[in-house]
A and B are shown apart, each in its own frame.
Chain A
Amino acid sequence: MILKDEMLDSLLTELSKEQIVYVPKQVNGTTRFAPYVSSDKMKLDQVNTVMPPKDLLFPQTQNMYHYGVEKNSGNMFIDPVIESADQILFGVRSCDMRSFDCLDAAFLTKGYIDEFYQAKRDRLTTIAIGCTEVSETCFCESMGQDPNHAPQADIQLRHGEGGYNVTAQTEKGEALLEKFKPFCEEGEVEVADVHCTLNVDASNIKDNLDILHESHELWDSMSYKCLNCGTCTFVCPTCYCFDIDQENRCKEGVRFRCWDSCMFSEYTAMAGGHNPRPEKRDRVRNRFMHKLNYFEDRYGKMLCVGCGRCIEKCPVSLDITVLIDRANELAQAEETEAAHA
Chain B
Amino acid sequence: MSDITTTLRERARALMEDGTIAAFIGWEAGRFERQTTPLICLDAADTDRLIFDEYCVNTTAKYVRDLKQRGRIGVAVRGCDSRAINRMIEDNQFKREDVYLLGIPCPQMNDRKTGTVLNKCQDCAHRNPVTYDELLGEAMEETAPQDRYARAHLVSGLDRIARQNIFNMAFERCIRCYACRDVCPCCTCRTCFVDQRNVGWLGKQDNLSENRFYGMIRAFHISDRCIECGECERACPMDLPLMAINKKLVEDMNTLFGEYESGMTTDNEDALRSFSKTDLEEFE
Contacts and interface: CB of A to CB of B under 8 A. Distances in A.
Contact of B203 (A228, A245, A260): A245
Interface string A31-60: 000000000000000000011000000001
Contact of A225 (B38, B178, B203): B38
Contact of B40 (A29, A50, A137, A225): A225
Interface in B212-243: 234-235, 237-239
B30 A230 contact: no
Interface stretch (B12-20, B80-88, B139-147, B167-175): B167-175
Interface centre among A229, A256, A266 (most CB of B within 10 A): A229
Contact of A30 (B32, B204, B238): B238
A29 B238 CA distance: 8
A313 to B, nearest CB: 4
A231 B205 contact: no
B204 A321 contact: no
Contacts of A313: 237
Among A136, A234, A243, residue most surrounded by chain B Cβ atoms (within 10 Å): A234
A225 B63 contact: yes
A13 interface: no
A330 interface: no
Nearest to A224: B40
A14 interface: no
How extensive is the interface on chain B, given as a class? 35 or more
B40 A247 contact: no
A20 B249 CA distance: 42
B99 interface: no
Interface in B168-189: 169-170, 172-173, 175-179, 181-183
B66 to A, nearest CB: 7
Interface in A236-271: 243, 245, 247, 256, 258-261, 264-266
Interface string A307-336: 000000101111101100000000000000
Given A224-B66, A259-B206, A266-B195, A234 B37 contact: no
28 contacts: A28-B169, A28-B172, A28-B173, A50-B238, A51-B175, A60-B175, A60-B206, A224-B63, A224-B66, A225-B38, A229-B177, A229-B181, A231-B175, A231-B179, A231-B235, A231-B237, A234-B176, A245-B204, A245-B205, A247-B205, A264-B178, A266-B197, A280-B66, A313-B237, A315-B179, A317-B37, A319-B37, A322-B31
A227 interface: yes
B206 A61 contact: yes
B203 A234 contact: no
Q: Using C-beta atoms within 8 Å of the partner chain, give the interface range for chain A.
A: 35 or more
A166 interface: no
B87 to A, nearest CB: 17
A30 B238 CA distance: 7
B207 interface: yes
Contact of B37 (A225, A233, A245): A225
Interface in B14-43: 30-32, 35-40
A258 B206 contact: yes
Contacts of A198: 31
Nearest to A322: B31
Given A28-B172, A60-B206, A280-B66, A321 B179 contact: no
A235 interface: yes
A261 B182 CA distance: 14
Contacts of A28: 169, 172-173
Contacts of B66: 224, 280
A227 B172 CA distance: 23
B195 A317 contact: no
A29 B242 CA distance: 14
A319 B32 CA distance: 10
A247 to B, nearest CB: 6
Contacts of B238: 29-30, 50
A234 B178 CA distance: 11
B265 interface: no
Given A29-B169, A228-B182, A317 B40 contact: no
A169 B98 CA distance: 63
**Which 9 residue pairs of A and B lie closest in terms of their CB atoms, listed nearest first?**
A315-B235, A229-B179, A317-B37, A230-B177, A227-B182, A224-B40, A313-B237, A225-B38, A229-B182
A29 B170 contact: yes
A266 B66 CA distance: 18
A245 B170 CA distance: 24
Contact of B183 (A30, A137, A280, A315): A315
Interface string B238-255: 110000000000000000
B34 to A, nearest CB: 11
A317 B177 contact: no
B266 interface: no
B58 interface: yes
A29 B168 CA distance: 12
Interface string B155-166: 000000000000
Interface in A92-145: 136-137
